[in-house]
């Protein structure tokens, strides 16, 4: 009986919250297709939730209108799949499309606590300072940091005989170990012992960061959920802080490994540069870890699959945007829906087929802003120099 009462209360609160959201739609967004709260919840709790689900469920609107909207943290976010708008977003950053800041858009959230202000989520002089420091570090990042983990992966794969391999899981373990060495000179040993405290501490936070259900529903208003989630973040922050302190000590003792943290500290120590404090270092390391792991792991897993058979930045409008018959008001969150652009039959011939020859004329493809795996313009992904 008590459970029934609780479920009834939750359902009533959900209806009230949903009604409240629908009464707060700005005039300029009312005619834009809405990915409903129920759709968001369904996609959040599905085991195979992905960008593909969002695209397929609203394919008609992404292909024809190039835009749809959804609720993130009680605020409206527009997903854009029009390459014309993509060009403006990439080239007019800071003029029309400023980067969305977690402290403003999702204050006191897990994302704001974990990532803070970093090279991705910053604007103006703060971003220029971060980009300068990171550029100096990435230009001299030694490639040999990746080699040892690569051999370890090959040895593990060779020991698996006549058994199916969970390639996605294996690539996530591999990329975490690579990033640990390249970013901190620390061996997470995810390939060797995936249940060790360092791996579980890291993965618990990534699970919370990727838990979309907490973005579409105000569950963090419940102290139990918020404190539990923040506790996991603080545990990982302590681990990152220890990495930074130990790196300062080892550098003071004259030791050098050439990892990203060391190179960033060296760039910060240069009197000609305005450097990071240790908290800013931690925020940037956090964003590099999440930006590098999922993207690289999924790309590697996809390559394995395709070879076997034949072969996810938010921004905020700084002024009203006239798009087709809509006027999106300033302050609205906007994001390019890259998946929709790269699967649209209006932009690509046979988009679901593997046809690598389509990229032979890569210059023209990039010029249309329909293919932007590393972004474009001044905010292009910093690791692009290694590709």
- Domains, the chain, ordered by start: 1-100+314-360+371-387 (no CATH), 107-311 (1.10.630.10)
Structure confidence at residue 218 (pLDDT): 76
Out of 3-17, 91-105, 255-269, the most confident range is 255-269
The per-residue pLDDT for 281 is: 93
**Residue 313 has what pLDDT?**
56
Q: Is the pLDDT of residue 387 over 60?
A: no
Q: What is the pLDDT of residues 350-369, one digit of tens each?
A: 888 877 777 766 554 545 67
Q: How confident is the model at residue 311 (pLDDT cuts 50, 70, 90)?
A: very low
Per residue in 108-131, pLDDT (tens digit) is 899 999 999 998 889 888 888 888
Residue 69 pairs with which residues in a beta bridge?
Answer: 34, 78
Looking at residue 246, what is its pLDDT? 94
pTM of the shown model: 0.75
Instruction: Identify the band that residue 285 occupies on the pLDDT scale cut at 50, 70 and 90.
Output: very high
41 has a pLDDT exceeding 50: yes
Instruction: Tell me what percent of the residues of the chain surpass a pLDDT of 90.
Output: 21
Q: Does the pLDDT at position 338 exceed 80?
A: no
Q: Average pLDDT for residues 91-118, to the nearest whole number?
A: 86
pLDDT value, residue 198: 94
Most confident stretch, 16-30, 65-79, 348-362: 65-79
Mean pLDDT of the residues in the chain: 81
Average pLDDT for 72-86: 86
User: For residues 247 and 238, what is the distance between their CA atoms, to the nearest angstrom?
Assistant: 14
Determine the Cα–Cα distance for residues 221 and 214; give it in Å rounded to an integer.
Answer: 10
Q: What number of other Cβ atoms are within 10 A of residue 347's Cβ?
A: 18
Res. 196: pLDDT tops 80? yes
Highest mean pLDDT among 76-80, 195-199, 316-320, 372-376: 195-199
Confidence (pLDDT) at 46 = 66
pLDDT score of 249: 94
Backbone angles phi, psi at 322, to 5 degrees: -85, 115
Pairing mode of beta strands 321-323, 315-317: unpaired
Structure tokens at 265: 């500290």
What pLDDT shows up at residue 385? 47
């Amino acid at each position: 009986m008590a459970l029934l009462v609780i479920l009834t209360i939750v359902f009533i609160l959900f209806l009230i919250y949903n009604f409240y959201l629908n009464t707060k739609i700005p005039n300029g967004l009312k005619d834009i297709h809405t990915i409903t709260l129920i759709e968001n919840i369904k996609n959040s709790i599905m085991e195979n939730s992905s960008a593909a689900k969002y695209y397929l469920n609203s394919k008609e609107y992404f292909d024809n209108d190039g835009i749809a909207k959804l609720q993130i943290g009680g605020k409206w976010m527009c997903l854009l799949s029009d390459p014309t708008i993509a060009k403006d977003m990439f080239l007019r950053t800071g003029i029309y499309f400023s980067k969305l800041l977690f402290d403003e858009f999702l204050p006191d959230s897990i994302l704001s606590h974990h990532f803070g202000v970093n090279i991705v989520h910053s604007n103006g002089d703060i971003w220029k300072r971060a980009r300068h420091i990171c550029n100096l570090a990435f230009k001299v990042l030694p490639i040999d940091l990746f080699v040892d983990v690569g051999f370890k992966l090959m040895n593990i794969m060779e020991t698996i005989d006549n058994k199916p391999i969970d390639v996605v899981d294996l690539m996530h373990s591999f990329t975490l170990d690579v990033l640990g060495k390249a970013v901190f000179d620390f061996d997470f040993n995810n390939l060797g012992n995936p249940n060790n405290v360092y791996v579980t501490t890291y993965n618990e936070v990534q699970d919370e960061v990727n838990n979309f259900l907490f973005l579409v529903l105000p569950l963090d208003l419940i102290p139990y959920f918020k404190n539990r989630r923040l506790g996991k973040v603080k545990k990982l922050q302590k681990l990152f802080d220890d990495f930074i302190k130990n790196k300062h000590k080892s550098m003071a003792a004259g030791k050098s490994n050439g990892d990203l943290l060391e190179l960033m500290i060296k760039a910060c120590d240069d009197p000609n540069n305005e450097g990071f404090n240790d908290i800013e270092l931690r925020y940037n390391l956090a964003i590099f870890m999440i930006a590098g792991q999922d993207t690289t792991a999924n790309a590697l897993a996809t390559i394995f699959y395709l070879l076997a058979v034949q072969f996810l930045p938010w921004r905020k409008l700084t002024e009203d945007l006239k798009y087709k018959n809509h006027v999106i008001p300033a302050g609205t969150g906007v994001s390019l829906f890259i998946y929709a652009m790269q699967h649209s039959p209006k932009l690509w011939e046979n988009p679901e087929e593997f046809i690598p020859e389509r990229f032979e004329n890569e210059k023209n493809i990039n010029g249309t802003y329909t293919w932007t795996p590393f972004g474009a313009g001044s905010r292009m992904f910093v690791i692009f120099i290694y590709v």
